Amino acid sequence: MNTEILGVILMFATVVALAIPLGRYIGKVFNYENTWFDSIFNPLDQLFFKLGGINPTKEMNWKQHLVALLIINVVWFVLAMLVLTNMSWLPLNPDQNPSMSADLAFNTSVSFVTNTNLQHYSGESGISYFGQLILMLWQFISAGTGIAICAVVFVAMKERTADTLGNFYSFFVRSCTRILLPISLVVATLLAFNGMPMTFEGKDTITTLQGDTVQVSRGPIAAFVAIKHLGTNGGGFFGANSAHPLENPSYFTNIVEMVTQMIIPIAMIFALGFVIKRRKLSWMIFGVMTIGFLLLTIPTIISEMEGNPAIANMGIAQNMGSMEGKEVRFGSTASAYWSIATTVISTGSINSMHDSFTPLSGMNQMLAMMVNAFYGGCGVGMLNFYIYIILAVFISGLMVGRTPEFLGKKVEAKEMKIAMIIALLHPFLILVGTTLATSLPNLTAASLSNPGFHGFSQILYEFTSSSANNGSGFEGLGDNTPFWNIACGLVMLLGRYLPIIGPVAIAGILAGKKYIPESNGTLKTDTPTFGLMVFAVIAIIAALAFFPALTLGPIAEYFSMPK
């Protein structure tokens, strides 16, 4: 078999093999069970709580959890704005990069605090090392937020009736110190030992073999890239993100970065089974997500390996596949695989330029973000999937004529209303945003780098990526203008916090209800049949809501190209 395909299989097999034991470990962290590393982490956590003035044993109900989450996120946003608009005179700025304008700082602050990492600047020229380190802080703590709030929902799903669901700060600190920090250290070490820079020196000037004088940007990259992937953040240190030879030097580092970005989203699935003691439910969820992932990945790999038909018409060899925007050291197969992995989970880092992919690959990348729950981001992927489960429970309950129940709790009108609002929010933000942008051509037309259908795809992709908190882009879009900075910033805010509030509210309300033990009449939710039902709900929501928009963009482009 072809070595490029073997590489992709290796990446997927490795991440699943590592995610299952990690899921067990995360489950133990959420359940406050003993783990091997307690002797290090217990004192460390105590230090965090003491310095933070927090009582980690104070129980919170679901509303208090959300208040704590939202307040700390506001603090982060304010701090990010302060740093990004004052970088020019702050320390660690060897290249004398300027401060950000207010609208760009707004976009960037929102982008990193919401775990999106959409970037309307280039790392080489738009931010100081101090700014990069501050962004790295959000990469840790925004991921920690997602994991912590997901833990709250897991605890709410336990078989009991409860109003309080643990302490938010405690889950948050434990997620950061016990999950993100140790894995980041291991990954950063692997990367620094494989050719990735970790230096505070500024740009270097070299004379090339041919005699040109060029500059080479450097920086503390290894530390940054580790958490960028582990936290499904995806914001690049450099403009070219993980396509840059210093941000992803070899095929080996490509494997490391790929495994790192997928490991927590997959581990969270297994953590759920461990926390609520229903392993079969985890396997059902894993099955649905994996089938969805493969259905998007395989056609993309095939399409990229075949190459661009318009270039095939010119009569040259495309043995390596479509190579525009791709690096030779990764090849088209690993690039295609990465492009879907980074869009199903909400990383948004790239190792090739999505803008230059063949039309149907671009469509699959967008579909991955439109569903946003095949694995999904750190913690929040499970929250999105939870909404789909609630919808499927309700629909299948109606189909068999029983009261809809999920894990022993009755799902009633109030929960359904919340679930529907959240399910419809994502298409609403994407489609309204795209409509707005296309109807204001004097603000947006100049920012498109491609004419026709592909230009429309660039707009659609930008809003999809913002609403899914993904952060990748069809990067030809000249998006550092007040319109794009503010519009995308608002979409990212709504696309982050409402889909957190909704599932937490549903889970919190359900947790307070009476627990009904399983009987013969209970609809089983850990079976393949129910998995199929969830899949159908996802397909219907994504297909019906987004098909018209996709037809105008990538599908039209596909049919306009030579065969």
Partner 1 sequence: MKNNIISAIRLTLVCLVFFCGIYTLAVYGISKLAPESMSFAKTKAGYYENVGQSFTNDKYFYSRPSAVAYNAAGSGGSNKGPSNPNYLAEVQARIDSFLVHNPGVQKEDIPSDLVTASGSGLDPNISVQGAKVQVKRIASIRNMNESTIHQLIEQQTEKPLLGLFGTEKINVLKLNLALDILN
CB closer to partner 1, 191 vs 523: 191
Q: Which of 65, 174, 244, 426 binds partner 1 (CB under 8 A)?
A: 244
Q: Which is nearer to partner 1, 209 or 400 (CB)?
A: 209
Buried b (16+ CB within 10 A) or exposed e, 80-96: bbebbbebeebeebebe
Compute the least distance from the CB of residue 503 to partner 1, in Å: 21
Burial of residue 520 (CB within 10 Å: 0-12, 13-18, 19+) is exposed
Q: Which of residues 369-398 bind partner 1 (CB under 8 A)?
A: none
Residue 327 is a binding residue for partner 1 (CB under 8 A): yes
Per-residue binding string, partner 1, 531-560, x by CB under 8 A, is --------------------------x--x
Vertex 320: Cα angle to 365 and 17 (nearest 5)? 55
Selected binder of partner 1 within 20, 79, 291, 395 (CB under 8 A): 79
Contact mark string toward partner 1, 287..316, x via CB under 8 A: --------------------xx-xx--xxx
- Our finding on whether 108 is near partner 1 (CB under 8 A) is no
Among 53, 91, 401, 517, binds partner 1 (CB under 8 A): 53
Burial of 443 (0-12, 13-18, 19+ CB in 10 A): middle
- Cα of 300 vs its chain's centroid, Å: 19
| Contact assessment for residue 457 and residue 327, using Cβ atoms and an 8 Å cutoff | no
| 446 binds partner 1, rule: CB under 8 A | no
The nearest distance, CB 312 to partner 1, in angstroms, is 9
Residue where the block lists tokens 């073997």: 6
- Residues 6 or more apart from 270 whose CB is under 8 A from it? 19, 20, 22, 23, 24, 26, 27, 282, 286
Q: Which is nearer to partner 1, 32 or 200 (CB)?
A: 200
* Closer by beta carbon to partner 1, 183 or else 263: 183
In this structure, the chain runs to a length of 563
From 379, 375, 386, select the one nearest 290 (Cα to Cα): 375
Smallest distance from partner 1 to CB 255, Å: 7
Q: Is 438 in the site for partner 1 (CB under 8 A)?
A: no
The DSSP annotation for 365-382 comes to HHHHHHH--SS-STTHHH
Q: According to the binding rule CB under 8 A, does residue 48 interact with partner 1?
A: yes
Among 141, 153, 340, 407, binds partner 1 (CB under 8 A): 141
One residue of 6, 82, 432, 536 binding partner 1 per CB under 8 A: 6
* Least distance CB 162 / partner 1 (angstroms): 22
- Give how far Cα 414 sits from Cα of 154, 421, 422, Å: 20, 11, 13
Smallest separation (angstroms) from partner 1 to the CB of 323 = 5
Nearer to partner 1, 318 or 522 (CB): 318
The contact pattern for partner 1, residues 188-227, with x = CB under 8 A and - = no contact, is xx--xxxxxxxxx--xx-xxxxx-x-xxxxx-x-xx--xx
Contact between 17 and partner 1 by CB under 8 A: the answer reads no
* Least distance to partner 1, CB of residue 106, Å: 19
Give the angle subtended at the CA of 239 by the CAs of 237 and 244, to the nearest 5°: 75
Helices within 193-250 (DSSP H only) = 221-230
**Residue 165 or 176: which CB sits closer to partner 1?**
176
Q: How far is CA 208 from CA 157, 246, 349, 384, 396, in A?
A: 61, 17, 29, 50, 66
**Residue with Cβ nearer partner 1 (195 or 287):** 195
Q: What angle do CA 234, 79, 188 make, to 5 degrees?
A: 35
Compute how many other C-beta atoms are within 10 angstroms of the C-beta atom of residue 205: 8
Centre a 10 Å sphere on the Cβ of residue 164 and count the other Cβ atoms it contains.
16
Distance separating the N- and C-terminal Cα atoms of the chain: 27
Does position 166 bind partner 1 by CB under 8 A?
Answer: no
49/515 with CB nearer partner 1: 49
Tell which positions 462-491 bind partner 1, by CB under 8 A.
Answer: 474-476
Among 21, 98, 245, 441, binds partner 1 (CB under 8 A): 245
- Compute how many other C-beta atoms are within 10 angstroms of the C-beta atom of residue 503: 26
Minimum distance between the CB of residue 172 and partner 1, rounded to whole angstroms? 8
Residues 6 or more apart in contact with residue 89 via CB below 8 angstroms: none
Is 30 near partner 1 (CB under 8 A)?
Answer: no
Could you tell me which stretch among 182-190, 363-371, 500-508, 521-529 binds partner 1 (CB under 8 A)? 182-190
Least spacing, CB of residue 332 vs partner 1, in Å: 9
